[in-house]
């Protein structure tokens, strides 16, 4: 075998070995690819077979039975007298009016005498027979002589008038016996409209206090 022929044989042998090697590599690559695909399918199958959808159970709903509520009875509306007596519900302007009428009607009387005049005004406010406010009671025609003759407008309450108001409003002092009227005590034997038409309750200082006959009979 000469050198040329030997070289040809070596080249043929080299090409054959390369083809064999390439086929082996291709086969190995194919095997790896198949194995990878199989693994993917196996994994997917295992996930599909092994995982169960969670069962969501609805929580049991507790039914609360509402309490039985009986008929609601409305509290009785307080009467005008009860409302004012319990709360002494008047404002600063009305306090001034009360102290002023005490001065106009009972200047010179003691503190309780002034308080009795204030209480007579309030008793009228609390009575259904008279207007329902302090100002209206005092301004009612022929109700108080000092209001009609202008004395009420001229006077200003002194410290004792305010003390009388505090005696009524703060200490809740009330010895008025529900008096609705008063007048300067008549002279002995003197007949007045009050003494003829009303029931005499008591005398305090220079004033005599009265109430309606039906009011007295009702009590």
For 144-163, what is the mean pLDDT? Answer: 94
Total structural domains within the chain? 1
Residue 25 maps to a domain: no
What pLDDT is recorded for position 19?
A: 62
Instruction: Give the pLDDT band of residue 62 (cuts 50, 70, 90).
Output: very low
Cβ atoms 90, 126 nearer than 8 A? no
pLDDT digit string, tens, across residues 72-96: 555 555 555 454 454 577 888 999 9
Give the burial string for 192-211 (b: 16+ CB within 10 Å, else e). eebeeebbebeebeebbbbb
What pLDDT is recorded for position 188?
A: 79
Residue 50 maps to a domain: no
Owner of token pair 């043929």? 12
Taking the C-alpha atoms of residue 125 and residue 132, their distance in angstroms, rounded to an integer, is 5
Residue 191 maps to a domain: yes
CA dihedral for 11, 17, 19, 21, sign (positive or negative): negative
Cβ atoms 115, 164 nearer than 8 A? yes
Residue 147 maps to a domain: yes
Residue 47 maps to a domain: no
For 5-21, what is the mean pLDDT? Answer: 59
For 207-212, what is the mean pLDDT? Answer: 95
Cβ atoms 108, 99 nearer than 8 A? no
Helix (H, G, I), strand (E, B) or coil at 100: helix
Is pLDDT larger for residue 107 or for residue 9? Answer: 107
User: Does the pLDDT of residue 166 top 90, yes or no?
Assistant: yes
Residue 73 maps to a domain: no
What pLDDT is recorded for position 54?
A: 45
User: Does the pLDDT of residue 56 top 80, yes or no?
Assistant: no
Percent of the chain beyond pLDDT 90?
49
User: Does the pLDDT of residue 67 top 80, yes or no?
Assistant: no
CATH assignment of the domain containing 154: 1.10.10.2520
Q: Which residues face 208 on adjacent strands? A: 183, 203
Taking the C-alpha atoms of residue 109 and residue 104, their distance in angstroms, rounded to an integer, is 11
pLDDT digit string, tens, across residues 104-150: 999 999 999 999 999 999 999 999 999 989 999 999 988 999 999 99
What pLDDT is recorded for position 14?
A: 56
Cβ atoms 115, 106 nearer than 8 A? no
Residue 16 maps to a domain: no
Contacts of 97 (CB under 8 A, 6+ apart): 134, 135, 138
Structure tokens given for 183: 């007048």
What pLDDT is recorded for position 29?
A: 58
Residue 40 maps to a domain: no
Q: How many CB atoms lie within 10 A of CB 162?
A: 18
Q: Compute, in degrees rounded to 10, the torsion defined by CA atoms 121, 124, 125, 127.
A: 160
pLDDT digit string, tens, across residues 177-205: 999 999 999 887 788 999 899 999 999 99
Look at 7-16, 74-83, 96-105 and tell me which has the smallest mean pLDDT: 74-83
Q: Angle 133-137-140 (CA atoms, 0-180°, nearest 5)?
A: 135
Instruction: Show the domain range for 90.
Output: 80-218
For 30-48, what is the mean pLDDT? Answer: 57
Average pLDDT, the chain: 76
Contacts of 157 (CB under 8 A, 6+ apart): 96, 99, 100, 102, 103
Owner of token pair 């309030």? 122
């Amino acid at each position: 075998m000469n050198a040329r022929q030997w070289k040809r044989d070596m080249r043929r042998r080299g090409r054959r070995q390369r083809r064999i090697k390439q086929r082996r590599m291709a086969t190995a690559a194919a095997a790896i690819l198949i194995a990878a695909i199989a693994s993917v399918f196996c994994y997917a199958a295992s996930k599909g077979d092994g995982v169960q959808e969670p069962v969501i159970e609805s929580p049991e709903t507790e039914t609360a039975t509402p309490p039985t509520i009986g008929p609601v009875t409305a509290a009785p509306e307080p009467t005008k007298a009860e409302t004012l007596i319990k709360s002494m519900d008047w404002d600063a302007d009305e306090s001034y009016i009360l102290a002023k009428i005490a001065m106009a009607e009972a200047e010179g009387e003691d503190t309780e005498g002034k308080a009795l005049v204030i209480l007579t005004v309030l008793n009228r406010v609390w009575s259904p027979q008279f207007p329902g406010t302090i100002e209206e009671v005092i301004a009612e025609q022929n109700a108080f002589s000092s209001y009609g003759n202008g004395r009420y407008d001229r006077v200003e309450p002194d410290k004792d008038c305010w003390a009388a108001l505090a005696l009524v409003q703060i200490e809740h002092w009330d010895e008025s016996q529900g008096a609705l009227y008063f007048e300067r005590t008549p002279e002995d034997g003197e007949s007045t409209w009050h003494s003829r038409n009303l029931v005499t309750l008591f005398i305090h200082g220079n004033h005599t206090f009265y109430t309606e006959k039906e009011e007295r009979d009702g009590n």
